[in-house]
Amino acid sequence: MIIGIVGQVSQVRDSRIPRPSDCGNGKTNLMVSMAYHQFRTRGRKVITNFHTKYPGSDNWNCTWSEFMTAQEIFEHFLDPEYDDALVCISELSGILHSAARSSKTIQWVDNNLNQRRKAGHDLIWDAQRWMSNDKILRDKTDYIYVPVKFHCVYDIRTQNWIPTTQCPKDICDEKHLILVWQDFPAPDPEDALTPIKILHAWEIGELYDTKERITDQTLHAPA
């Protein structure tokens, strides 16, 4: 399975999904939430191109995922030791930019994405805009999720955090909920307006470096 997490699906606004901010809308937060759940409930091996840690810990060397660059992931994730792994790649659109790649690299990436199913891999990727991703990736993506960041308040009566206003900022000191909509496959009409999940962003933020910059270069086929 390949899951894409995007800030914008197209240039045309989907009226059932609030328009996200241009950045900082919870894409990696959602990815980490999904990956950590797989690690904790299934003991699944997780590979990420960003650094993670256990909640409440400052030890980045003892963690729940294995760090690799995107180049290393594509070179090694078909190795037998990574069978059934969950692969998470952030900012994949820039890493997989077709304009900077040769036909040899395009074929190499396409073959790896096809072969990963036989190894039992799942891939979760995030990028700001759906259409900025290479057609190879768009054609193979099975699910598309759109997260949107909201300010929230605590409701004493229900003892729950309640979303209030959408947050337009990349960096904001307030507490946030991440509301997640499924864009593809399209949900049933009666479910279309309802988020499929709501995340406590501050709790998921304890599991990774929220300020880390992804510095991966464009992929290239091994010589």
Annotated domain spans of the chain: 2-145+202-207
24-28, 38-42, 91-95: least confidently modelled range: 91-95
CA separation for the pair 76, 43 (Å, rounded):
20
CA separation for the pair 42, 183 (Å, rounded):
26
pLDDT-derived band at 15, boundaries 50, 70, 90: low
Tokens representing 35 are 């990956």
Give me the pLDDT at residue 134, please: 80
CA separation for the pair 51, 211 (Å, rounded):
10
Closest CA to 34 of 78, 73, 64, 75: 64
CATH architecture of 2-145+202-207: 3-Layer(aba) Sandwich (3.40)
pLDDT in tens, 162-191: 999 999 888 889 999 999 999 888 877 777
Give me the pLDDT at residue 20, please: 60
pLDDT in tens, 100-146: 567 788 888 888 888 887 888 899 999 888 887 788 888 999 999 99
Give pTM, 2 decimals.
Answer: 0.90
Mean pLDDT of the chain: 87
Give me the pLDDT at residue 101, please: 65
* Number of C-beta neighbours around residue 145 at 10 A: 23
